[in-house]
Structure 1
């Protein structure tokens, strides 16, 4: 038996989340590629909050165990690439949406979805970083690939006090970039500067409708907000600036013109963490193992148990959460 957060749908169509004891035989089957993992830590991400509360239809089928990432050790394997005792990390692949996920003590997934835990990081470290830190690194790699180096100029990070934003600031600062953080939370300015932000600006300067072209400022942008915020970030990028978009907290719409792209040669790069190829995942986690400041792991992440994760999933949607929530599924 193992404990898990178990999502069901009531007769009136509402999602319900409860802590439940399940049997290992309840885990999904993956034929020749199935790997069973004894989970050590998972996390609460924005998407997990949506799943737990039912605020958006991210869960594709019920019943479901939420949790889009986890770290643990292989306890059984039908995949020749994985043996008992191997320490593994999983991010994305529809886990917690279409396949039972990581907010549990056990999971069974396709071996193709797993990567090896970096030796220099503990299981808790990996989930302190989690999908948010991994996504932040993918965005940084996109900026680098498109020529944005620390000498290029200021880098804007939106949604700065969230998980992606917090890690983006810490990683960029550690790499020598000048980071400007955008947040709507005045109380978090000291926190963001402690992570390495050179300055903090109000999100209201970006979140309202703006001109198609604005004063040039940003050499690069990491945006997890979308909508008007992303549009204004593009409009205020310098000539040849690069914008990495990875989220939609403000909305899925993108109310902007083509002016930044054809008059300033701004590049808008979409960054997806869910279905990224193994080679990209391995590269990102290798960088995270070498480039993450150790102090950031403690300042960005807070620890809760499995039972408290349900309430944490609700709070992350109301903006009550700063940084990362790590879930110790075994307490």
Structure 2
């Protein structure tokens, strides 16, 4: 089989290329070998490709934290050969070989069924980014943040999670305000559903006060750091912010005023280890009433041989939307 492999050299540098490897086989109970049709690219994949020890410690290594395809071989009684399945999260693509290969072996406990109303390409356009966006939006809805309550702020809006969040929220009737540091992509954000775009610099320019005027009913934050800190100060009474990323910073320099004076709630989103039932419910929503019509506007389809160049775009902050990797028919 063909696979995108990252290797560690003797001088502790990392090289990557598409290589020929043996097809994995089921050897223990409750394993599944998936014949991969599509995968995707995420920031975590890019970090793995350069040997980030917080993501991957075992090399050589196949990247890819998302995978969709059909069951090729199984020792599980739950799944049958030929069923359409996907995996996101858990240890896939981290210290377990990932989805950037024509075949991948995983524990059956990681595997979800692909809903009938969505294709493998579409579900990988969503991928971990779409799942994370869906989990974030679900928290807003579960906490009674409705379109009539006010605007929703989405940070890092041109990224994978941000783009999908903007699109879903717009479809559900929310007025979406997007933050982006990429002025050349403002039209893109409007096409996918944002009604207003604020530059990163403008948003941070008034953030020195401990509390700011109430502007947003909810926030979907994908970047962390000072942007999240500034957003918390502007959430309306009883509002909600979800947090799922750290591309700006893992530090959060804030104060207690939004929480004790306005009852603001900050909810962490984890799409990696959350229960499979929760993931399956999110996939069902993404395949039906939350399925957006503009997936093609945010999708860059590439091959295994184009992954390396795409990683450079991700790591340099130049990527827009989602990268979907076509593996096989």
Coarse TM-score class (shorter-chain normalised): over 0.9
Q: Give the number of aligned pairs.
A: 328
Aligned-residue offset at 1:295: 2.8
Q: 1:253, 1:207 → 2: CA distance? A: 16
Q: Who is 1:326 aligned against?
A: 324
Structure 2 counterpart of 1:284: 282
> Where does 1:129-208 land on structure 2 (aligned, <5 Å)?
129-207=126-204
Name the residue aligned to 2:216: 218
CA apart distance, 1:207 = 4.6
Q: Please name the residue that 2:263 is paired with.
A: 265
What residue number does 1:105 align with?
Answer: 102
1:16 is aligned to 2:15: yes
Deviation of 1:166 (Å)? 0.5
Shifted more, 46-55 versus 64-73: the winner is 46-55
Aligned partner of 2:57 in structure 1 is 60
Deviates more, 1:211-220 or 1:71-80: 211-220
What SS is found at the alignment partner of 2:240?
strand
* CA drift at 1:30: 6.3
Q: Specify whether residues 140 and 133 from structure 1 end up closer, same or farther in structure 2 by C-alpha distance, changes over 3 A only.
A: same
Contact 1:300 1:322 in 2 (8 A): yes
Q: Aligned Cα RMSD in Å?
A: 1.5
Q: Which residue of 1 aligns with 2:314?
A: 316
- Equivalent residue, structure 2, for 1:305: 303
TM-score, scaled to structure 2 = 0.96
1:70 is matched with which residue?
67
Deviation for aligned residue 1:36: 0.2
Partner SS, residue 256 of structure 1: coil
CA contact (8 A) 1:158 1:225 kept: yes
Distance in 2 between residues matched to 1:7 and 1:58, nearest whole Å: 13
Q: Would the alpha carbon gap of residues 255 and 96 (structure 1) be closer, same or farther in structure 2, given more than 3 Å must change?
A: same
SS of 2:288's equivalent in the other structure is helix
**Inter-partner Cα distance in structure 2 for 1:283 and 1:3:** 32
Could you say which residue in structure 2 is the equivalent of 1:248? 246
| Distance (whole Å) between structure 2 residues aligned to residue 282 and residue 123 of structure 1 | 15
Uncovered stretches (5+) of structure 1, i.e. residues with no partner: none
